[in-house]
Amino acid sequence: MSDVSDMTAGPALRRIVGFALPLTAANLLQQGYLLVDGIVVGHYVGVEGLAAVGASGPLFYLLNAMFIGLGTAFTIRLAHLRGARQDGERRGVVLSLALLTAVWSVGCVLLVTVLARPTLALMGIEGALADDCAEFIGTLSLGFPGIFGSAAVSAYLRGLGDSRAAMWVQGFGSVVNVVLVLLFVAVLDLGISGAALATAVAATAALVAGLLHAARTHPVPGVGERPAVRRELRDAVRLGFPLASQHIILAVGIMVLVWIVQGFGPVVLAAFTIVSRIEQFTAILFLDFSGAVTAFTAQNLGAGREERTRRGLWQTLGLTVGLTAALAAAVLLARGPIAALFTDDPATRELTERYIVIIYPFFALYTVMVVLHGHLNGARRTTAPLVCTVIAFVLVQIPFAYLLHGVFGIEAVMWAVVAGWTAGLAYSVWCLRRVLFAQPAGVAS
- pLDDT tens, N- to C-terminus, the chain (445 residues): 344 566 777 888 888 888 888 778 777 777 666 667 777 777 777 777 777 777 777 777 777 777 877 888 888 888 777 766 666 677 778 888 888 899 989 988 888 888 778 877 776 777 777 888 888 888 888 889 999 998 889 888 887 777 777 778 888 888 888 888 888 888 888 888 888 888 889 999 999 998 998 888 877 776 555 666 777 777 777 777 787 787 777 777 777 777 777 777 777 777 887 888 788 888 888 888 998 898 888 888 877 788 888 888 999 999 999 999 999 999 999 988 988 887 778 888 888 899 899 999 999 999 999 999 989 888 878 788 889 988 998 899 889 888 887 777 788 888 998 999 999 999 999 988 876 655 444 443 3
Q: What is the pLDDT of residue 227?
A: 61
Indicate the pTM of the whole model: 0.66
Per-residue pLDDT of 220-243, as tens digits, reads 776 555 666 777 777 777 777 787
Task: Judge whether 133 and 114 are in contact, CB under 8 Å.
Answer: no
Q: Determine the Cα–Cα distance for residues 264 and 15; give it in Å rounded to an integer.
A: 47
Q: What is the pLDDT of residue 259?
A: 76
Q: Determine the Cα–Cα distance for residues 83 and 69; give it in Å rounded to an integer.
A: 21
Task: Judge whether 195 and 38 are in contact, CB under 8 Å.
Answer: no
**SS (HEC) of the chain:** CCHHHCCCCCCHHHHHHHHHHHHHHHHHHHHHHHHHHHHHHHHHCCHHHHHHHHHHHHHHHHHHHHHHHHHHHHHHHHHHHHHCCCHHHHHHHHHHHHHHHHHHHHHHHHHHHHHHHHHHHHCCCCHHHHHHHHHHHHHHHHHHHHHHHHHHHHHHHHHCCCHHHHHHHHHHHHHHHHHHHHHHHHHCCCHHHHHHHHHHHHHHHHHHHHHHHHHHHCCCCCCCCCCCHHHHHHHHHHHHHHHHHHHHHHHHHHHHHHHHHHCCCHHHHHHHHHHHHHHHHHHHHHHHHHHHHHHHHHHHHHCCCHHHHHHHHHHHHHHHHHHHHHHHHHHHHCHHHHHHHHCCCHHHHHHHHHHHHHHHHHHHHHHHHHHHHHHHHHCCCCHHHHHHHHHHHHHHHHHHHHHHHHHHCHHHHHHHHHHHHHHHHHHHHHHHHHHCCCCCCCCCC
Domain parsing of the chain, residue ranges: 8-435
**11-15 contacts: CB < 8 A, separation 24 or more?**
12/296, 12/308, 12/311, 12/312, 12/315, 13/312, 13/315, 13/316, 13/319, 15/296, 15/312
Q: Determine the Cα–Cα distance for residues 132 and 41; give it in Å rounded to an integer.
A: 12
Per-residue pLDDT of 88-104, as tens digits, reads 677 778 888 888 899 98
Task: Count Cα neighbours of 414 within 13 Å in the Cβ-side half-sphere.
Answer: 22
Q: What is the pLDDT of residue 1?
A: 38
Q: Determine the Cα–Cα distance for residues 49 and 57; give it in Å rounded to an integer.
A: 12
